[in-house]
Structure 1
Amino acid sequence: MECRPNCGACCIAPSINSPLPGMPNGKPAGVACIHLLNDFKCAIFNKPERPNFCGSLKPNLEMCGDEKHGNAREYAIAWLSNLEHLTKPNH
């Protein structure tokens, strides 16, 4: 499956705990990565400085939804936000 156009949910919803260019402390959940372009594509996609976490996210129907889920971007953000919540360590 290919990334859906104008989505960028993977670059917004999850937290990134590893450093990335311009964000040495990673990024919190719900905050857009500084490398997310206006067309919702990643400026460092396929570059060595891209965090392993980002490369591990692969578009799939479970995460991205399909036409029956309505707005795929909103669905993916909600799905990833829920996953973020479920996997957050308890402090």
Structure 2
Amino acid sequence: MWRVLYCPEYLFGDPGNAKGEAAGVRCVQLNEQNLCKIFGKPERPAVCSQFKACPSLCGQTSQQALDNITELESMT
């Protein structure tokens, strides 16, 4: 399963963007490798810290995770 360091930051708003992100907008807290720059830090939002990765959402690659999340967002 794709590591939880990558997946949730596409899902939720973050402290680096006061208004949060619109669906499909890349989180400003992701670095060039799509790793969360505030992972494990106190300023990381609770919703991100509490996210439990699952294979059906996060897949095996970052592209699978993004595709799955994009599909879910299009249904809501």
**TM-score bracket for the superposition, by shorter chain length:** 0.7 to 0.9
- Which 5+ residue runs of structure 2 have no aligned equivalent? none
TM-score of the superposed pair, with normalisation by structure 2: 0.72
Aligned to 2:23: 29
**CA displacement, residues 15-44 of structure 1 (integer Å, 9 cap, x when unaligned):** 42xx51x31111112111111011211111
Kindly report the root-mean-square deviation, in angstroms, between the aligned alpha carbons of the 2 structures: 2.5
Distance 1:15 1:74, change over 3 A: same
Runs of 4+ aligned structure 1 residues displaced above 4 Å come to none
- Which 5+ residue runs of structure 1 have no aligned equivalent? 67-71
If asked which structure has higher relative contact order (CA below 8 Å, sep 6+), I would say 2
Structure number, greater radius of gyration: 1
Matched residue count: 76
Paired amino acid for 2:23: A
Aligned to 1:69: none
Question: Is 1:41 the counterpart of 2:35 in the alignment?
Answer: yes
TM-score of the superposed pair, with normalisation by structure 1: 0.63
Q: Hey, what's the Cα distance between the residues in 1 that align with 2:63 and 2:44? A: 24
Aligned to 1:3: 3
- The answer as to whether partners of 1:11 and 1:36 remain within 8 angstroms in 2 is yes
Aligned to 2:50: 56
